[in-house]
Structure 1
Amino acid sequence: MNYESYAVKLKTITDPKRMKIIDLLSCGEMCACDILVHFDFTQPTLSHHMKILENAGFVEVMKKGKWHHYSLNQDELKVFMTEFNQLFFNSDNCICQKNNV
């Protein structure tokens, strides 16, 4: 596990607004305009949060017409959750097991 990059990803999702965006996207793809109605900030602020989520690999973006549509990157989330479980639960990939070899 690359602890530095994993820590960056954890920091990305600890922001309450980005956490809520992830929760909204867990229901499926959403247009930026539909995400925006759940917040009291402007479209540029939403774009900023979405770019951070996209750079972390959590969100995929597709342009449809004049709007951006966002969805969760399921492949990246599976890797993230696998690493999360490895961090907190003993497994065959645990650092303790690797050091005993």
Structure 2
Amino acid sequence: MDSRQLVTALKALADPTRLKIVSLLRHRSCCICELVPIFEISQPAVSKHMSRLKQAGLVVESRKGQWVFYALNDERLRQVQEALGNLPDYSGEFEKLAQQGLLVTCE
């Protein structure tokens, strides 16, 4: 997962409604109409949140007749977790500041 994809996923997860949707989808796949009464917002609003999660690759959809069901993309969530666990080490930035006499310590 490249940094752009990680940023997109984290931005999608940064919204409280979308984070709650992800949490709900951990239990089972859902149709938009099932989520509307939980959030007490309009169907288009829930659809917009779901679209953002889908764009980030965090959910996948499947059709059953006229209904669209959404489920977590477990592989993408695993990739996000892995990427967060393997962030680059930027601790050298502190060293640079110290060498320049600009390192601040708050006490």
* TM-score category (smaller protein): 0.7 to 0.9
Instruction: Check if 1:78 corresponds to 2:78.
Output: yes
Instruction: Check if 1:3 corresponds to 2:3.
Output: yes
Show the 5 A alignment for 1:11-90. 11-87=11-87
Match of 2:102 in 1: none
- Give the SS at the match of 2:69: strand
Identity of matched residues, %: 34
Contact 1:26 1:72 (8 Å CA) reproduced: yes
The one-letter code of the counterpart of 2:9 is K
Deviation for aligned residue 1:86: 1.2
Structure 1 gap ranges (5+): 88-94, 97-101
Q: Take 2:34 and 2:26, find their aligned partners in 1: how far apart are those partners?
A: 14
**TM-score scaled by length of structure 2:** 0.75
Structure 2 gap ranges (5+): 90-107
Q: Take 1:75 and 1:37, find their aligned partners in 2: how far apart are those partners?
A: 28
RMSD between superposed Cα atoms in Å: 1.4
Which 4+ runs in 1 deviate beyond 6 A? none
**TM-score scaled by length of structure 1:** 0.79
- Give the SS at the match of 1:49: helix
Which region of structure 1 is more displaced relative to structure 2, 2-11 or 49-58? 2-11
